[in-house]
Structure 1
Amino acid sequence: MHPPHDLALLLARFQFAFTVGVHIIFPAFSIGLAAYLAVLEGLWLKTERSVFLDLYRYWIKIFSIVFGMGVVSGLVMSYEFGTNWSIFSQKAGPITGVLLSYEVMTAFFLEAGFLGVMLFGMNKVGRGLHFAATCCVSVGTLISMTWILSSNSWMQTPQGYSIDPATGRFMPEDWLAIIFNPSFPFRLIHMGLAAFLSVAFIVGATAAWHMLKARREGRNTSEAVRVMFSMAMWMAAIVAPVQIMAGDAHGLNTLKYQPAKIAAMEGDWETESHAPEMLFGIPNMQTERTDYALKVPLLGSLILTHSLDGKVPGLKDFPKDQRPPSPVIFFSFRIMVGLGMLMALVGFWSLWLRHKKTLFSNTAFHWVALCMAPAGFLALLCGWVTTEVGRQPWTVYGLLRTSESVSPVALSSIAVTMTAFVVVYVLVFGSGIGILVRLLGHAPDQNEHDASPDHASDIMATRMHPGLIDASSDNKGH
């Protein structure tokens, strides 16, 4: 069979980028929110303050929807590996397939096993057991992230393999080297912090919205909203600077193992010491230069090598057919870094306001926190674009090209499925996000006990047989 046309390859790549781009939001949301729920329940058990229970019951409704959308959106990618990327699955499957199966056998079973207890067991099991279930679900999300990032990181920095000369398949030789490949620790920490930071800004924006609404309506902000906002801002103030340091360490690792990606990210064409930092420009792959460049002397070497005379690679060091598309990742990287800096500034600002005792009364800061709601997820998406597009033209870096990984599928078939995915995703996930926005629009102290997942069966019974609840209420009265 003949390989697909270049346009079919591009569309297959775009289809996977679209589906994984939608999907990654929900697991990241689940990872951060599950940890937040575990903290809330732990604080409730330790302090007996009902405000933490109210917040737990408020956010667990959001978690249940986000978790469900994450599972649904992830199923599609499994099919795409077989339909659009069968050659990659055949050659890399002995390694990536095993790692992904570990994710199912450990993380998914752990999450699924305790999710029901977490959602519906508050009034049916003891407090300790319910807290253990919440912790298990949170740990399950982290284990899931670990296996998926191990698989993806192996594709970035492959280790511990041999290539079968007869079939061209990657065969595992050293599983520890495969799992703990050179980029894995850095990417695991970077992704985990990104998930926590993204959720912190969603929580903070939700609280900011309710504080602004309360001020507009001339009433006091509830304790639950203030506690929620305070916790979110503590997380932003602590995690954002740590994330910047983690990103710097990740950059040093990428310079060592994927120098072409660094050159494309920086828009550098010539290898040089005492390299400047390109703040802005438009990389031109045809003329091999960056137009309209705005540079800061010496800063490139200092950032990338921690030395003023460090050597920074240029794209001309690499063959033209092995260069990542610099214009894409040049801007995606800068958007990610810019948003990271903004999140850190918001965190520092919150510390100053906390010191001045105006954290809950500064309207300007609340508007900023509200506008920063999507910042974490936008930065996360830009980071993944930088990582994955920067790996091109390889699926397994330096070993297996993307053009050699795609299935021999007709352009028309990919176009039809791409159109169907876009329509279905807009309808399904657009509706899901709409539901989330409506739920977040209600303050966390409005009848949370009655609206908790434990009462889902009562709600369903009321809708089916309204007289059942009325009769039970009369009996209780007697």
Structure 2
Amino acid sequence: MSPSETALILARAQFAFTISFHFIFPAFSIGLASYLAVLEGLWLWTGRQAFLDLFRYWVKIFAIAFAMGVVSGIVMSYQFGTNWSVFSDKAGPVIGPLMAYEVLTAFFLEAGFLGVMLFGTNKVGKGLHFVATLMVATGTLISATWIISVNSWMQTPGGWAMNAQGQFVPADWWAIVFNASFPYRLVHTVIAAYLTTALVVGGVSAWHIIKRHDTPQVRIAFSMAMWMATLVAPIQLLAGDQHGLNTLEHQPIKVLAMEGDFEPSPNGAPLVLFGIPSNADGRVNYKIEIPKAGSLILKHDPNAPLKGLKDYPRDQWPPVVIVFWSFRVMVGLGMLMIALGAFSLVQRLRGKLYDRGLLHRFALVMGPAGFVAVIAGWVTTEVGRQPWVIYGLLRTADAVSPIATPGVTGSLIAFVIVYFSVYAAGTLYLLRLMAKPPHDNESDPSEGPIRSAGITPAPAKLGGEA
């Protein structure tokens, strides 16, 4: 392997490492912000103290997760200039404004109202405080919208032209922002964030029920989380199906890698359940498959013909084994989410939702499943796009900075050490907060662990998830 190839792999590994850490926190804070808005709205509507107690309990956790998401996003963004300067130069006229729109909308909306939400409970009226919470929740969704638009444009570029300097420049902003895959990716990502939050809330509540700390607040939180799993997990399955059909249309090689379809199937493709894909061999070894089920899923017709990876040049194949297995991790966890929701519905109808037993152990184990699923989905999306950084237009190898291997190696090692120390400490602190059950008359956030964690009422210093 040449030094330039080694530097490319290390640069990709560094970006993958930092964005994996970063993605965990927005996936949680997007859903949690909306959950907080629902809790405060229910408190204002019903007057029940339990909803206010839950709001105060989870807003402390939101503050820490939000802060870690902001910091990790800022660090990650510097890599565009250090490791991916060629990409920044060529795609900057398109990517730059989209990122700026995220700052001008989500950044200021979140920063402007975050301080009121965290520290204004006893300083502003109930209505204004609820508006602040809604604005923070809206800001996280707007932030997700712009970031997904950027990534979707890299997956399905549209509305661009090439100038004399070889740069991608905007020709139609509507076609850039609302590109072919954008709506499918946005829906799939936001639902994933909501499910991630629901599983965390459900897992924490299940832990306290198992430990016989099942206060009224714990029971309410567990019930709400299980309703989310029951109703939204099947919707995510449908959203994923539509997203898959869109990807098959615009990025067929990625879908074929996900399915492990090396050979063309003129009379209906099988569904490869398990196996060991090999780019070198051009096949899936030791595979277990269901005849024609692949065409049934991808074409909704068991006899529909389907191309194989061998219909495309080998230099356009992604690393199939990674895409194949990351996709199965995501889908497998999605099916377990549906199973958890169905199980909780059965127990609810039997009047045994809060009876300690298998359901609560299942919910506890599934607590971190949303994070694993979103990372697996990101790996499927990004590795499946390879060897392109802008699909079909700019190869990843042509987008990297002219950097030396020792420089990338040193910065990667530094990132690993710092991230594992700093974010491990932050995660442990979050777990400490979650280890205590919500209780009656939960303290105001400004008097609790937010201040002790070093977060002071200066929201202008915080921004949206980059």
TM range (shorter): over 0.9
Taking structure 1 as reference, are residues 459 and 175 closer, same or farther at Cα in structure 2, changes over 3 Å only? closer
- Give the Å deviation of 1:447: 5.3
- Give the Å deviation of 1:459: 7.3
Question: Quick check: 1:262 aligned with 2:255?
Answer: yes
- Equivalence for 1:394: 388
- Equivalence for 2:446: 454
- Equivalence for 1:104: 103
- Equivalence for 1:61: 60
Of 42-51 and 288-297, the range deviating more from structure 2: 288-297
The separation in 1 between residues aligned to 2:367 and 2:80, in whole angstroms, is: 33
The separation in 1 between residues aligned to 2:141 and 2:16, in whole angstroms, is: 23
Question: Quick check: 1:232 aligned with 2:225?
Answer: yes
Q: Which residue identity does 1:263 align to in structure 2?
A: L
Question: Quick check: 1:331 aligned with 2:330?
Answer: no
- Give the Å deviation of 1:458: 12
- Give the Å deviation of 1:446: 6.0
2:165 to 164, 167, 178: 167
The separation in 2 between residues aligned to 1:126 and 1:264, in whole angstroms, is: 55
- Give the Å deviation of 1:456: 5.2
The separation in 1 between residues aligned to 2:183 and 2:450, in whole angstroms, is: 46
- Give the Å deviation of 1:222: 1.0
Q: Which residue identity does 2:333 align to in structure 1?
A: L
Question: Quick check: 1:247 aligned with 2:240?
Answer: yes
Question: Quick check: 1:349 aligned with 2:347?
Answer: no
Q: How does 1:166-315 map to 2 (within 5 A)?
A: 166-214=164-212, 221-272=214-265, 273-315=267-309
Q: What secondary structure, in the 3-state scheme, does the structure 1 residue paired with 2:358 have?
A: helix
The separation in 2 between residues aligned to 1:285 and 1:318, in whole angstroms, is: 13
- Equivalence for 2:429: 435
Q: Structure 1 unaligned runs (5+)?
A: 215-219, 461-478
Taking structure 1 as reference, are residues 459 and 304 closer, same or farther at Cα in structure 2, changes over 3 Å only? closer
Of 31-40 and 440-449, the range deviating more from structure 2: 440-449
The separation in 2 between residues aligned to 1:257 and 1:207, in whole angstroms, is: 42
The separation in 1 between residues aligned to 2:449 and 2:207, in whole angstroms, is: 31
- Equivalence for 1:26: 25
Taking structure 1 as reference, are residues 456 and 438 closer, same or farther at Cα in structure 2, changes over 3 Å only? closer
Percent identity, aligned pairs only, is: 58
- Give the Å deviation of 1:221: 2.2
The separation in 2 between residues aligned to 1:9 and 1:458, in whole angstroms, is: 40
Q: 1:372-403: CA deviations, max 9, x gaps? A: 01111111100000000000000000000000
Q: What secondary structure, in the 3-state scheme, does the structure 1 residue paired with 2:284 have?
A: strand
- Give the Å deviation of 1:238: 0.7
Root-mean-square deviation (CA, aligned residues, Å) is: 1.3
- Equivalence for 1:51: 50
Q: Structure 2 unaligned runs (5+)?
A: 453-466
Q: What secondary structure, in the 3-state scheme, does the structure 1 residue paired with 2:262 have?
A: coil
Q: Which residue identity does 1:454 align to in structure 2?
A: S
- Equivalence for 1:138: 137
- Equivalence for 1:115: 114
- Equivalence for 2:460: none
Q: Which residue identity does 1:415 align to in structure 2?
A: T
- Give the Å deviation of 1:18: 0.3
Q: 1:247-279: CA deviations, max 9, x gaps? A: 000000000000000111111111213111000
Q: What secondary structure, in the 3-state scheme, does the structure 1 residue paired with 2:294 have?
A: helix
Aligned residue-pair number? 450
Q: What secondary structure, in the 3-state scheme, does the structure 2 residue paired with 1:383 have?
A: helix
Determine if contact 1:262/1:313 at 8 Å carries over to the other structure.
no
Moved over 2 A (4+): 454-460
Q: 1:15-57: CA deviations, max 9, x gaps? A: 0000000000101111000000000000000000000000000
- The TM-score with structure 2 as length reference comes to 0.95
Q: Which residue identity does 2:165 align to in structure 1?
A: T
- Give the Å deviation of 1:317: 1.1
1:385 to 379, 382, 388: 379
The separation in 2 between residues aligned to 1:248 and 1:278, in whole angstroms, is: 17
Q: Which residue identity does 1:96 align to in structure 2?
A: I
- Give the Å deviation of 1:163: 1.2
The separation in 2 between residues aligned to 1:403 and 1:454, in whole angstroms, is: 49
Q: Which residue identity does 2:202 align to in structure 1?
A: G
2:410 to 407, 416, 428: 416
- Give the Å deviation of 1:455: 2.2
Determine if contact 2:37/2:137 at 8 Å carries over to the other structure.
yes
Taking structure 1 as reference, are residues 290 and 136 closer, same or farther at Cα in structure 2, changes over 3 Å only? same
Q: 1:112-158: CA deviations, max 9, x gaps? A: 00000000000000000000000000000000000000000000000
Determine if contact 1:123/1:454 at 8 Å carries over to the other structure.
no
- Equivalence for 2:401: 407
Q: Relative contact order (alpha carbons < 8 A, sep ≥ 6): 1 or 2 greater?
A: 2
The separation in 2 between residues aligned to 1:309 and 1:203, in whole angstroms, is: 43
Determine if contact 2:60/2:450 at 8 Å carries over to the other structure.
no
Q: 1:199-240: CA deviations, max 9, x gaps? A: 0000000000000101xxxxx721000000000000000110
- Equivalence for 1:473: none
Determine if contact 2:89/2:167 at 8 Å carries over to the other structure.
yes
The separation in 2 between residues aligned to 1:131 and 1:320, in whole angstroms, is: 55
Determine if contact 1:4/1:409 at 8 Å carries over to the other structure.
no
Determine if contact 1:263/1:312 at 8 Å carries over to the other structure.
no
Q: Which residue identity does 1:91 align to in structure 2?
A: K
Determine if contact 2:230/2:344 at 8 Å carries over to the other structure.
yes
The separation in 2 between residues aligned to 1:353 and 1:314, in whole angstroms, is: 44
- Equivalence for 1:464: none
Q: Which residue identity does 2:230 align to in structure 1?
A: A
Larger Rg belongs to:
1
